[in-house]
């Protein structure tokens, strides 16, 4: 029992909480009894000290400085707290005073054992049932904010967010304001935990986001109590909350993310129809834009900043629906019909490309997610008619080209970096489809800017090979339609089968930075550029045409003196130096230079031969 002074006042100093002789459970019980008596005495100063003593004792049990925390002692301490709170004789004033600090301290116990976690959750549940919802909501948010600065392990936050989910349902008035006040703390926890996901915490990670689904369901229930403008705003907030969570779940670095988290995404997706979201509106970006506009009307506290990944979440919601039919059903939409609609409209296809760009370019999403993103994009590009230009007049090419360019750059990085050959192959096929979807003139401009902005020799080589394919297609198209009177001008005079093609050759063989290309580093693009030049020479000379101007004497002389001869000198020098080395590296350099040398000499022969017959 707690000691009293001769005057009858409570003497906290004689409780002897630090006395190691009594069992911890008895010392805690003594501290709790002291709390009750201090409040009964009406001495506020003593009451605060008594509450602090209880909290201090609980902290001492889970002090990180302890060499070994006794799980049994921790469990008994939590059980003592729970018994005290739920006792019929407990003083509600004491309970409310303890509620100010208990959530912060009991969550420190949850990582010790499953039983400690269960009791901690029960303690918070009891506080939810007995304390002021508005006060407890602030307390739980503050506890989350405090704990996230100590640890980002999801296990600590499951009881806290679970408590918030239940408190939401207990709020009687000013629902919208309370939700808006709590969401920043909730989303900060979810963002922080998703940023440092650990395989050992996989189950806790899933439980945490399962609790996040519960919060969404609680907000959905609150919407039913509201009407008018405030209800519309809360609908928009819920929609952004769901999309933010889908984006956060998708950031997980755990293995097999699709199979591991599909059920979670499905549960989030069930809330999308309630928010008025559809797959079409999500993939086009209109739904998330409307929600942001709605929330921004009354965003006095910067709530929108909490939904920084909502736009990504809109695209990811569709990707998950594409991956799993059950997710699509949960979202209440027909994805196949949506994709068919987008395929039939070029401007909408490009808008979708822009929506998927952040997923492809971000380092936060796994290769598994990116593969399915590319697969969705490839599916949209399949079946499109690249010769249709009916909607070209409605498209502002100057506005869409930068977005397409950055998307294609992101796909290039996947082609270069992905370890899985299937992802690289899918990325390349998709890149070709997107480029082919551009009108011919813009297609050339895009390939040129991709070549000039690439730092990867192998990628430059691939892009030059694509230019060569375009030249063949354009030339064949022009040949087959020579006798057609109604042929479109663009089909007769394209940018590939023209002098522009030689400009691309010059970018590689005589780089703008000056001097010849670097060998053997640039062997791949040099070989592709030489092959393109040789191809153009042969096609023009055998066809007795000069669309590209390559057979003009001045062009032949320029190519000979500025491209081919300096390159021959460079190749000869590197080869001679390499012959002195007998290492494995020297063998690789020889293998890289040999095809370059063969094609280079053939180009020189062709130019010299054509110079003899030029005028």
pLDDT above 70 (res 563): yes
pLDDT of residue 65: 63
pLDDT band at 482 (very low <50, low <70, confident <90, very high): low
How far apart, in whole angstroms, are the C-alpha atoms of residue 343 and residue 353? Answer: 12
Beta bridge pairs of residue 10: 4
pLDDT band at 589 (very low <50, low <70, confident <90, very high): confident
Of 4-18, 401-415, 544-558, least confident by mean pLDDT is 4-18
Q: What tokens appear for 210 in the block?
A: 């399962």
Burial of 310 (C-beta count, 10 Å sphere; 0-12/13-18/19+): buried
pLDDT band at 196 (very low <50, low <70, confident <90, very high): confident
How far apart, in whole angstroms, are the C-alpha atoms of residue 276 and residue 291? Answer: 10
The values of phi and psi at residue 4, to 5°, are -120, 150
How far apart, in whole angstroms, are the C-alpha atoms of residue 56 and residue 555? Answer: 87
CA separation (Å) from 473 to 6, 129, 449, 470, 531?
105, 73, 21, 5, 17
pLDDT of residue 493: 56
How far apart, in whole angstroms, are the C-alpha atoms of residue 560 and residue 573? Answer: 18
Average pLDDT for 316-338: 93
Position with higher pLDDT, 567 vs 300: 567
pLDDT above 70 (res 529): yes
pLDDT of residue 489: 42
pLDDT of residue 185: 95
Report the share of the chain in percent with pLDDT over 70. 89
pLDDT of residue 64: 67
Is residue 481 within 8 Å of 492, Cβ to Cβ? yes
Peptide bond preceding 520 in cis form (omega within 30 of 0): yes
Q: How many CB atoms lie within 10 A of CB 33?
A: 16
pLDDT above 90 (res 213): yes
pLDDT above 50 (res 103): yes
Per-residue pLDDT tens for 59-73?
888 876 665 678 888
Q: What angle do CA 223, 170, 48 make, to 5 degrees?
A: 140
Q: What tokens appear for 369 in the block?
A: 């997610």
- Hunting for tokens 């354009």 — which residue is that? 474
pLDDT of residue 89: 73
Position with higher pLDDT, 399 vs 510: 510
pLDDT above 70 (res 263): yes
In 3D, which of 68, 40, 75, 33 has the Cα closest to residue 54? 33
The distance from CA 552 to its chain's CA centroid, rounded to whole angstroms, is 52
- Hunting for tokens 């180009």 — which residue is that? 603
How far apart, in whole angstroms, are the C-alpha atoms of residue 78 and residue 219? Answer: 30
pLDDT above 60 (res 20): no
How far apart, in whole angstroms, are the C-alpha atoms of residue 154 and residue 160? Answer: 10
- Hunting for tokens 């590296």 — which residue is that? 585
Is residue 491 within 8 Å of 482, Cβ to Cβ? no
Give residues with Cβ within 8 angstroms of 117, minimum separation 6: 109, 110, 111, 155, 158, 159
Report, in angstroms and rounded to the nearest whole number, the Rg of the chain calculated over CA atoms. 35
Is residue 242 within 8 Å of 218, Cβ to Cβ? no
8-state DSSP, 518: P
Average pLDDT for 502-514: 90
pLDDT of residue 302: 81
Give residues with Cβ within 8 angstroms of 476, minimum separation 6: none
- Transcribe 411-462 into DSSP letters: HHHHHHH-S-HHHHHHHHHHHHHHHHTS-HHHHHHHHHHHHHT---HHHHHH
Of 45-49, 59-63, 324-328, 403-407, least confident by mean pLDDT is 45-49
Is residue 140 within 8 Å of 160, Cβ to Cβ? yes
- Transcribe 173-196 into DSSP letters: S-HHHHHHHHHHHHHHHHHHHHHT
pLDDT above 90 (res 360): yes
Per-residue pLDDT tens for 152-167?
999 999 999 999 999 9
Of 67-76, 203-212, 329-338, least confident by mean pLDDT is 67-76
pLDDT of residue 515: 76
Residue-averaged pLDDT of the chain: 87
The values of phi and psi at residue 10, to 5°, are -70, 130
The distance from CA 612 to its chain's CA centroid, rounded to whole angstroms, is 60
pLDDT of residue 300: 67
In 3D, which of 445, 600, 456, 459 has the Cα closest to residue 537? 600
Q: How many CB atoms lie within 10 A of CB 332?
A: 14
Per-residue pLDDT tens for 21-43?
577 778 888 888 888 888 877 76
Average pLDDT for 287-309: 89
pLDDT of residue 491: 45
pTM value is 0.87
Is residue 607 within 8 Å of 534, Cβ to Cβ? no
Is residue 339 within 8 Å of 280, Cβ to Cβ? no
Q: Which of the given ranges, 217-231, 291-305, 362-376, 382-396, has the highest pLDDT on average? A: 362-376
Position with higher pLDDT, 54 vs 384: 54
Average pLDDT for 40-51: 77
Per-residue pLDDT tens for 108-125?
999 889 999 999 999 999
């Amino acid at each position: 029992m707690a000691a009293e002074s001769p005057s009858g006042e409570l003497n906290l100093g004689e409780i002897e909480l630090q006395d190691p002789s009594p069992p911890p459970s008895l010392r805690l019980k003594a501290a709790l009894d002291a709390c009750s008596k201090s409040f009964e005495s009406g001495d506020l100063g003593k009451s605060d000290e008594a509450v602090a003593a209880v909290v201090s004792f609980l902290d001492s049990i889970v002090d990180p400085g302890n060499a070994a925390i006794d799980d049994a002692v921790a469990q008994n301490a939590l059980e003592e707290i729970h018994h005290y709170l739920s006792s019929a004789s407990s003083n509600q004033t004491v309970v409310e005073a303890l509620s100010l600090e208990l959530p912060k301290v009991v969550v420190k116990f949850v990582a010790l054992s499953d039983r400690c976690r269960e009791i901690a959750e029960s303690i918070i549940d009891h506080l939810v049932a007995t304390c002021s919802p508005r006060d407890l909501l602030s307390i739980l948010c503050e506890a989350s904010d405090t704990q996230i600065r100590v640890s980002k392990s999801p296990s600590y936050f499951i009881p806290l967010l679970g408590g918030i989910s239940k408190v939401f349902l207990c709020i009687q008035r000013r629902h919208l304001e309370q939700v808006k006040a709590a969401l920043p703390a909730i989303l900060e926890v979810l963002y922080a935990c998703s940023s440092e996901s650990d395989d050992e915490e996989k189950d806790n990670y899933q439980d945490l986001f399962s609790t996040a689904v519960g919060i969404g369901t609680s907000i959905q229930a609150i919407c039913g109590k509201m009407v008018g403008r405030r209800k519309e705003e809360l609908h928009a907030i819920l929609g952004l909350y769901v999309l933010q969570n889908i984006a956060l779940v998708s950031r997980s670095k755990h293995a097999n993310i699709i199979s591991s988290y599909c059920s979670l995404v499905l549960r989030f997706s069930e809330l999308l129809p309630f928010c008025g979201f559809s797959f079409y509106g999500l993939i086009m970006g209109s739904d998330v834009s409307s929600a942001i506009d709605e929330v921004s009307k009354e965003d006095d506290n910067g709530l929108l900043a909490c939904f920084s990944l909502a736009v990504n979440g809109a695209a990811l919601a569709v990707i998950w629906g594409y991956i799993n039919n059950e997710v699509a059903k949960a979202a209440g939409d027909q994805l196949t019909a949506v994709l068919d609609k987008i395929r039939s409209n070029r401007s909408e296809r490009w808008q979708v490309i822009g929506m998927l760009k952040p997923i492809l370019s971000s380092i936060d999403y796994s290769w598994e997610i990116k593969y399915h993103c590319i697969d969705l994009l490839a599916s949209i590009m399949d079946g499109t008619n690249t010769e249709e230009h009916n909607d070209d007049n409605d498209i502002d090419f100057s506005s869409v080209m930068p977005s397409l360019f950055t998307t294609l750059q992101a796909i290039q990085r996947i082609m270069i970096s992905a370890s899985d050959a299937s992802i690289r192959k899918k990325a390349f096929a998709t890149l070709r489809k997107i480029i082919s979807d551009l009108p011919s003139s813009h297609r050339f401009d895009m390939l040129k800017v991709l070549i000039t902005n690439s730092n990867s020799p192998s990628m430059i080589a691939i892009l030059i090979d694509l230019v060569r394919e375009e030249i063949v297609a354009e030339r064949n198209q022009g040949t087959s339609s020579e006798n057609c009177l109604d042929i479109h001008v663009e089909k007769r005079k394209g940018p590939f089968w023209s002098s522009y093609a030689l400009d691309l050759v010059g970018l590689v063989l005589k780089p703008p930075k000056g001097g010849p290309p670097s060998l053997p580093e640039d062997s791949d693009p040099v070989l592709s550029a030489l092959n393109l030049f040789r191809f153009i020479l042969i096609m023009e000379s055998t066809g007795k045409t000069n669309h590209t101007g390559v057979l003009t004497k001045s062009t032949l002389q320029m190519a000979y003196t500025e491209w081919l001869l300096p390159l021959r000198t460079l190749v000869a020098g590197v080869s001679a130096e390499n012959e002195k080395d007998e290492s494995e590296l020297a063998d690789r350099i020889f293998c890289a230079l040999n095809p370059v040398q063969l094609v280079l000499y053939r180009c020189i022969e062709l130019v010299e031969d054509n110079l003899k017959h030029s005028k």
